[in-house]
Structure 1
Amino acid sequence: MSETAPAPSSARGRTDDADVIVVGAGPSGSTAAYHLAQAGVDVLLLEKTSFPREKVCGDGLTPRAVKQLTAMGVSLEDKGWVRNHGLRIIGGGVRIELPWPELAEYPGFGLVRTREDFDQILAERAVAAGARLLQRTSVTGPVIDERSNRIVGVTAKDADREPVTYRAPLVIAADGNSSRLSVAMGIRKRDDRPMGVAVRTYFTSPRHDDDYLESWLELWDKNEGRDVLLPGYGWVFGVGDGTSNVGLGILNSTASFQDVDYRSLLRRWTSSMPAEWGFTEDNQQGKIRGAALPMGFNRVPHYSRGLMLVGDAGGMINPFNGEGIAYAMEAGVIAADVVAQALARPTQQARERTLLSYPRILADTYGGYYTLGRYFVKMIGNPELMKYATKYGLPQRTLMRFALKMLANLTEPSRGDAMDRVINGLSKMAPAA
């Protein structure tokens, strides 16, 4: 992978270093860079760390993410990819296995791959398409044109920690939940959107080759001496290399959210598992690590003054299930398409009109569905409702098939069964605000 700085584009009569700068080589940034490069756009991809690198994640990929990997030409044949058939749900004394729905729009399988090299695979695909990747390049702020008040590049520290400046007429912020670039541009988080926290670790375990993703719906904690059912779930995802990714995600829809010791909760939860699964301190591989989950478009606008937001920078995690990779990659595709269309326009005014379509496309694609997700988050924040739903809903297999489609957002967009039509209809009726 390239570590050398790009030469200015003097051959095009410009002093810009690229047509587009993408900040962050996670799933959203690398996907955007790949599709931009495929469209003939000169892309500079800046990554503050170096590959391979670890990221806090469940490592599970639904068929939505698999579709995007296939579109990028990623080979899924090497042994690092572990295929799964669906989701196993455990709660209320019920254990149910739900295969991924059979759809024309998406493949019929999911995957598990650790983030240690998953992001590197995507970055390598972007480089193979023609994007220029600079690793160990930490962006420190935007470069603002005083006349137009638009971003026209970024300041950074290179691999030698020397200050550098890169210029481009468009910048894509794919710099994660904290998104320093967005904050510096005055785009801040919305407090009326759901937020989650995920913690996870790895255990050497005989369950490493499980061909179902496993979700546990009952997470209990102590609050002022009382048992409290938390809104969220625990997971066990087999990684296929002798270890399982074991973690939990909690939503901020209860008053006790701020008081939860997530690492302690994970330790208590895993200690209650059957001994033969090996979820013990002796078998633990690495520390328990945590990360925030920005959901439901918690940072807007997604385009402003030459800056586009993708992935966690734009709060694009699904509120229903905490899935972020698929939506990060899909947003990268949308952003790349809009940018390629904009760059083909003959005037700055026409280019700007095209760029302003990006937030509208995102709202049309996800807005109503994410609004339903926010309602869902509020509902499961009610412990009594959560207990009732777990006890009486899980045994109903047809209802749970509907829930899987709803929570994983796996429907046929135009045709499909009655479940698809109900879910799509609800998403269209819900306000996108």
Structure 2
Amino acid sequence: MSILIKNGYLLDPATKTEGVSDLLIEDGFIKEISPNINTEAEQVIDAKGHYVMPGFIDLHVHLREPGFEYKETIATGSRAAARGGYTTICPMPNTRPVIDSKQMVEVLVKKAEEDAVVHVLPIGAVTKDQVGAEISDIKGMVTAGAAAISEDGKSVMNTALYQRAMIEAKKAGIPVFAHCEDKDLVGKGVLNESKKSQELGMPGISNAVEDVIAARDILLAKNTGVKLHLCHCSTRDSVTFIDMAKKSGLPVTGEVCPHHFAMADEEITGDDANYKMNPPLRSREDIQALKDGLKSNIMDVIATDHAPHSAEEKAKSIQEAPFGIVGLETAFALTMTELVEQGYLTPMQMVEKMSLNPAKVLGIDKGILAVGKAADIVIADPKEKYRIDVNEFASKGKNTPFHGKEVVGRIKVTIVDGNIVFKDK
């Protein structure tokens, strides 16, 4: 299939391309990029006034399959990804059964080939069944297609075991994605430890819950030489630690989720579990540190931690409901609204953090608009204003505190391997 994108504003940090140009796609690849392409194509898209960018890559999603298909499936989650401008997503292993073996990775890869409309790169578990007692078959999982390992949803509290897993990951040439949470410190905490948690009479989660493990994991990365990626960073000290690690020459990167830079804990309106996520919404001071960290390129990646749950589960009290909110279909708009429009990121930096840098973390040949590269492309209107409406979501999950929020920036077209997988009505 051939697609000609006309008059789009190309943003590609890999080639430092920024400006109006045409782009031709043939047989799944980018055939030509030039100011004026005059050729026949099966489909022509007028992208005047729209950004044309390499497809977004989400390092951190939960597709819930296998085991929790009532929350999300690979089919619904991948369609939500396409609607959000994502062309590659990395599902975390905390399914049932856990993605902790070569066989389970193969099952997930096969299911994704059958059902997904975007690229799916599985993340394997660090330990068998994620119980922290025995290292998974890391080499086997990588052979089957795992792009990284993570114990997401919890931390590996056995430091010696975790270090051995890091050594195996280093040998296998993959990064370790760290969920930083000291399970002994967190206790029964459900919200950020603050005036808001006291006001609501709920146990708090201190910054130290994240910071203690973030510091530990960076030190382990220093010992082992493994590529370490800190997931869903939410505290100002996480930013400081990553800055120190980078200045020391360590292969450490960090991600920030839109909810952590777009909303403070003081905005929680009451006992509404749509505000419950892990790590929790933090203070204004933490938010400012995250924004500054993104602006200064200390923080490398914007990821969603897309975590769908059923309406029944999220209708419970904050103390009883599961952690997590959906994010695939709101990430671009929240990033445009809170970071680009507010002057924290340039449009080029935004693309860097949502596409190029995630590709670099994974070590994959994506996140680039260049002749000969796979045509994974997103087209977006950076000026369209609207209110987020969960009823429009492709995801099964509607659990978000951003329903009704006025935002700017809407995804118009998502192309994967030269095929249109989403087109805005």
TM-score range, shorter chain: under 0.3
Under a length normalisation based on structure 2, what TM-score does the superposition of the two structures give? 0.28
Q: Which of 1 and 2 has greater Rg?
A: 1
